[in-house]
Amino acid sequence: MVALTANAAGKTELLIGNEAIARGALEAGVRVAASYPGTPSSEILENLAAVAEEAGLYAEWSVNEKVAVEVGAAASFAGLRAIVSFKHEGLNVALDTLCHLNLTGTKGGLVVVVCDDPGGWSSPSENDSRAIVQWLNVPLFEPSTPQEAKDMTRWAFELSEQTGTYCVMRSITRVSHTTGTVVLGEIASRDTPAHFDTSKLFVFVPIIKKHGNLLTKVEQVKEIFEKSQFNYYEGPEHPELVMISSGSGRLYSAEAVECLRLEKRVGIVHLGTTWPVPAKFVEKQLSQTSRVLVVEEVDPFVERNLKVVAADSGWLDRDHVIYGKASGHIKPVGELSPEIVINALARLTGIKHEPRSKEYDERAKQAAKDLVIDRELMWCPGCPHRATFWTIKNAFRLDGRDGFVSGDIGCYALDRRGAGGYLATKIALAMGSGAGVASGLGKLDQFGFSQPVIAVCGDSTFYHAAIPALINAKYNRSDVIMMILDNSATAMTGFQPHPGVGVNAMGKAAPVVDIEGLCRGLDIPVEVMDPFDITENTKRLVELMSDRSGARVVIMRHPCVLLRPPGEKTPFKVSVDISKCRGDECGCAKYCVRAFKCPGLVWDRTRGRAQIDEAVCVGCGVCTCTCPASAIMKEPSE
């Protein structure tokens, strides 16, 4: 692959969707990029940060998505082009700023990329961002391929500057992480100096006027979208059915038409600009058929808006019908697949199509069994979070008051997975919510609440959204134990740096924001523990839980095991003395394998004893403290 910055217009490259978005931004002459990491969006900023110096742009991992938008807005106010990217969960965090930024307007092109995760593969929800964007009333793009992602990004900057509002591009996992051919364009040279014109105001007042301006802009955008190259029809002249798609729905639709050989009967409309709806374009497409099937990811967003256009135009009646999620032809939850779309199309066209049998997935799993290792989603061997949650679980059991964890978003959420976790986490909402909920629970003692609660968050999450909750607990004298799992990484999203690690997004040295000092500055008692010191930590945690004395912070500090450089020796050589191992007898019952559940420990069925999987074990030695017979031993690695 050529460098992302190569000025090689016309050259075709293989790019993943997020690289294509980054390329589109570079072609548009972007100067500032800000983001908070989260799958499936992280690669956009990562790619821009990697070429920041060369391309003369500034890239940062902001502490959260709201700040990222504000950083992008600042560049825009100063006349520069900026791109802000995050996953769909981040849109919620950024919303407070975005729902005023649409009123204040922008100057330099500002593009906000939101990457949705249909099916919630790497997310705590599969929320559809589009309804929020419609509510924000700003232009919305939905690319279907990396090529479109690049081209739309570039064009979105133009539109943003033309209309004075920011644009949102909704990508999805299957676009952001799909590899496709992309024809590169020119990289724009933009050397306009940043300057804030103090004769202009970027404020949300007078509100009524600003609101009116927004509506005017939307009408302006609608007219532009009517002629957009990203909205088009492919198919026969007089189709009996038209599939109207957005995002990757276009590809699934094309596959379904081809699979069922309906090229002469069914046409496909791709709607690349989905808000505001280009009504005239849509009406034209509707006029050529009496039946429409809408194919889109997650919510029936396009479907509902089409119905509004269809009703307004008088198209919608008993003989003119729009099918989709509301009609039950396409399931309303989870990610789309070609099979789902094929089944829907077959049903509507009367084509006989043998649906995939219900056993298909199981048979596929069986067929793949010998090819891939059967692995549950769980903490890595040597993960400090396993040690921490083992400690928390034990402390709760010893305490005996039915304690629980108010959790957060990060690798530690794997505690909720029975295969590897200990299920101490009973509440998990959003980033920073663990501490906020705990702060609330800490005030319920006056109503008889006596269960101990530990709020847990990661280091990156602490900076992101937990600090206000901690201040809230302090201010309101709430009894909260807040545990910050400091593994020196934003591990779950791919080890992007954060304010605690001393490096910025562009790889330059950065000041460390000391969590401990910050908490002490709030006059909150702080204890720092090594999570691997399980016995002492358990004892201390029980003491802390028995003492209801307001907000307290425990920092569990140990670097993520994946940060260990390849080839570096393990701390310990761990082994099992099988002459001591009690196996599945009363008194043990495979305690290490069954209860502690580190994947580095495996069960030797032949001998009925535990053993260390040397290919997996990273020698943390934590499991030695779980063995009732002291059969698991560790010695320092040579």
Partner 1 sequence: MSPELPGLDRLQKQVLSQGLCSFCGACTGMCPYLVPFKGRVAVMDSCPVTESRCCQFCPQIGVDLDLVARTLFGVSYSAEPIGEVREVIIARSRETEVRERAQYGGTASTLIRVALQSGVISTAVLAKLVEGVPQGVTVSSAKEVLDCRGSSYLVCPVLEAFHRWQPEDNDRVGIVGTPCQTLAVAHMRTCSLSAQSNISRANLVIGLFCTWALSHSFRKVLAKWAPLSAIRKTDIPPPPASVLRAYTADRCLSIPLDDVKPFIPPACALCWDMTAEMTDVSVGAAEGLEGWNTVIIRTKKGQELVRTSVSEGLLETEELPKANLDHLMESARLKKRRALQNRVRKSGKRGDLLYLKVKHDTVERILRNA
For partner 1, the closer of residues 181 and 546 by Cβ is 546
Site for partner 1 in 96-155 (CB under 8 A): none
CB of 446 to partner 1, least distance (A): 21
**Tokens found for residue 270:** 């791709």
For partner 1, the closer of residues 403 and 500 by Cβ is 403
Question: What is the distance between the alpha carbons of residues 48 and 195, in angstroms, rounded to a whole number?
Answer: 23
For partner 1, the closer of residues 397 and 573 by Cβ is 397
377 is a site residue for partner 1 (CB under 8 A)? no
**Tokens found for residue 622:** 């934590």
For partner 1, the closer of residues 334 and 587 by Cβ is 587
605 is a site residue for partner 1 (CB under 8 A)? no
CB of 589 to partner 1, least distance (A): 5
Amino acid in position 630: S
Per-residue CA distances from 315 to 34, 276, 322, 323 (Å):
44, 19, 10, 14
CB of 599 to partner 1, least distance (A): 18
Give the interface segment with partner 1, choosing from 282-290, 368-376, 433-441, 590-598 (CB under 8 A).
590-598
Whole-angstrom Cα Rg for the chain:
27
For partner 1, the closer of residues 361 and 585 by Cβ is 585
CB of 330 to partner 1, least distance (A): 42
- Each residue 537-576 as x (binds partner 1 by CB under 8 A) or -, in order, gives ----------------------------------------
For partner 1, the closer of residues 371 and 586 by Cβ is 586
Parallel, antiparallel or unpaired: strands 609-612 and 601-604 = antiparallel
HSE, CB side, 13 Å, CA atoms: give it for residue 95: 16
Question: What is the distance between the alpha carbons of residues 402 and 398, in angstroms, rounded to a whole number?
Answer: 10
- Name the strand (E) or helix (H) holding 604: strand 601-604
591 is a site residue for partner 1 (CB under 8 A)? yes
Find the binder of partner 1 among 178, 626, 632, 634 (CB under 8 A). Answer: 626
400 is a site residue for partner 1 (CB under 8 A)? yes
Closest CA to 114 of 146, 69, 62, 81: 69
Question: What is the distance between the alpha carbons of residues 212 and 206, in angstroms, rounded to a whole number?
Answer: 10
For partner 1, the closer of residues 86 and 390 by Cβ is 390
HSE, CB side, 13 Å, CA atoms: give it for residue 234: 15
Number of residues near partner 1 (by CB under 8 A) = 15
Find the binder of partner 1 among 229, 589, 630, 637 (CB under 8 A). Answer: 589
CB of 546 to partner 1, least distance (A): 9
Closest CA to 335 of 295, 376, 306, 378: 295
Question: What is the distance between the alpha carbons of residues 172 and 223, in angstroms, rounded to a whole number?
Answer: 26
Q: Which residues contact 424 (CB under 8 A, 6 or more apart)?
A: 389, 392, 393, 396, 403, 404, 405, 415
Closest CA to 193 of 81, 53, 79, 55: 79
CB of 425 to partner 1, least distance (A): 16
**Tokens found for residue 80:** 């520069």
CB of 411 to partner 1, least distance (A): 22
For partner 1, the closer of residues 400 and 521 by Cβ is 400
Site for partner 1 in 380-399 (CB under 8 A): 394, 397-398
For partner 1, the closer of residues 134 and 394 by Cβ is 394
Site for partner 1 in 569-588 (CB under 8 A): 584-588
Please, are residues 205 and 148 in contact by the beta-carbon 8 Å criterion? no
CB of 610 to partner 1, least distance (A): 13
Find the binder of partner 1 among 494, 517, 628, 636 (CB under 8 A). Answer: 628
- Name the strand (E) or helix (H) holding 467: helix 467-475
For partner 1, the closer of residues 512 and 595 by Cβ is 595
For partner 1, the closer of residues 322 and 627 by Cβ is 627
For partner 1, the closer of residues 157 and 390 by Cβ is 390
Residue with tokens 């800000």: 34
Length of the chain: 638
Find the binder of partner 1 among 507, 595, 614, 636 (CB under 8 A). Answer: 595
332 is a site residue for partner 1 (CB under 8 A)? no
Site for partner 1 in 433-462 (CB under 8 A): none
Closest CA to 44 of 60, 55, 63, 64: 60
Buried b (16+ CB within 10 A) or exposed e, 142-153: bbbbbbbbbbbb
Three-state SS at 304: helix
Site for partner 1 in 147-206 (CB under 8 A): none
Site for partner 1 in 274-313 (CB under 8 A): none
Question: What is the distance between the alpha carbons of residues 546 and 553, in angstroms, rounded to a whole number?
Answer: 15
Q: Binding residues for partner 1, per CB under 8 A? A: 394, 397-398, 400, 584-589, 591, 594-595, 626, 628
